[in-house]
Structure 1
């Protein structure tokens, strides 16, 4: 088994700690229900397919804000209300309904026990391009902090967000381990920033041959927690 020094861990959230698709589906259903109740003309004007097209259009029209999912979603909802002739002031309540459901995540079975094991050994930081709130979800006690693309001003795979997290953790990138599911934003991005990497490959995908492989690859966070237990054992590794 290959060991190397690790002093802290940064973790992606969506599709690493929980699957994102069910949460987004719930959020869209919640928004649709809210619109039907409070802004019926917007509900009729903006069914799900139209909302998805508009969401893409928002990023095309405001690429400088594409990293900030909260800002883009709020702007999108206000635009929906305005174009349907509804009161734009309703936008905040509509977004709140969407976001509450977006944070109703269903963790992978291995996630919480593994995070608890890892947090007992090393400081953890959440590093996400999404906008889920760990306090609302109930996992913030396991993390030193949560840093999102919207807060930082740019998202993964840009190196700046990785370096900002390392600075807050108080460690050089070379002893920080980034954990994530996305080949480009998580693994390639962290590699470029000088971090060690773990690819959580739950679906059994094949690593792209054109890219340098991650330091570690596991199908579950449990396997990563097991590796940490062994790597941090004084007889396994000196650091």
Structure 2
């Protein structure tokens, strides 16, 4: 979902708003320093919890709270209640800044009228379920498989198999569209699906990278591909 349907550029705005809110209520804290420190905290902290978040061992709320606690502590504030407030404020601003890529609004409804669609996404249940509710796109999917709910993640072929079973379809009749070569394209191939690489940024494919059956720059190209006789 992230990078394919969900445009993650609003996350920085959510963090900036949170830092401004905290600083405006606490004169001993500066928004600019909070913002810089939060970035440093995430760079160190995220690699230590990413896998646990992906598999649902730790939920998104817990990770967010700890990141803000570390941010505030590094800025000289060890107020536990303020860390909770920062987490809640961030989640509120994050909801306000969540957005879909523009092509999703046009393509997803039309695809749903013609095809069965499943969503296979990595992440903790609380994070991804909240994203789906805020974005209002749950209704387009006949199956939703979230790694944090099932204990396996892309590129493991088993998570794709779960979606196939829910849809009642065979892998050779299914296309998987995703933006990540390692998790989406490699995982689709492992599960026997047709892999479509959604290369929004136009990055160059490198030798040794998994190779999709198709490469598109926008979801608007997908209906045309699906209408080919071989599809």
Taking structure 2 as the reference length, the TM-score comes to 0.77
Determine the C-alpha separation between the residues in 1 that align with 2:27 and 2:155: 39
The aligned counterpart of 1:165 is: 163
Deviation at 1:186, TM superposition (A): 1.3
Structure 1 residue 95 and structure 2 residue 87: aligned?
Answer: yes
The aligned counterpart of 2:100 is: 107
- Give the stretch that moved more between structures: 103-112 or 79-88: 79-88
> How much is the aligned-residue C-alpha RMSD, in angstroms?
3.0
* Inter-CA distance 63–98: structure 2 relative to 1 (3 Å threshold): closer
Q: Which structure ranks higher in relative contact order (CA pairs < 8 Å, sequence separation ≥ 6)?
A: 1
Determine the C-alpha separation between the residues in 1 that align with 2:122 and 2:194: 19
The aligned counterpart of 2:114 is: 121
Determine the C-alpha separation between the residues in 2 that align with 1:127 and 1:207: 23
Deviation at 1:150, TM superposition (A): 2.9
Q: 1 or 2, which has the higher helix percentage?
A: 2
Deviation at 1:114, TM superposition (A): 0.6
Q: In the TM superposition, what whole-angstrom CA distance separates every residue of 1:75-98 from its partner, at most 9, and x where no partner exists?
A: 32344456622134752x433332
Deviation at 1:108, TM superposition (A): 2.9
Instruction: List alignment gaps of at least 5 residues for structure 1.
Output: 1-12
The aligned counterpart of 1:55 is: 42
- Give the stretch that moved more between structures: 115-124 or 195-204: 195-204
SS of the residue 2:87 aligns to: helix
Contact kept, 8 Å, 1:190 with 1:197, in 2: the verdict is yes
How many matched pairs?
A: 219
SS of the residue 2:120 aligns to: strand
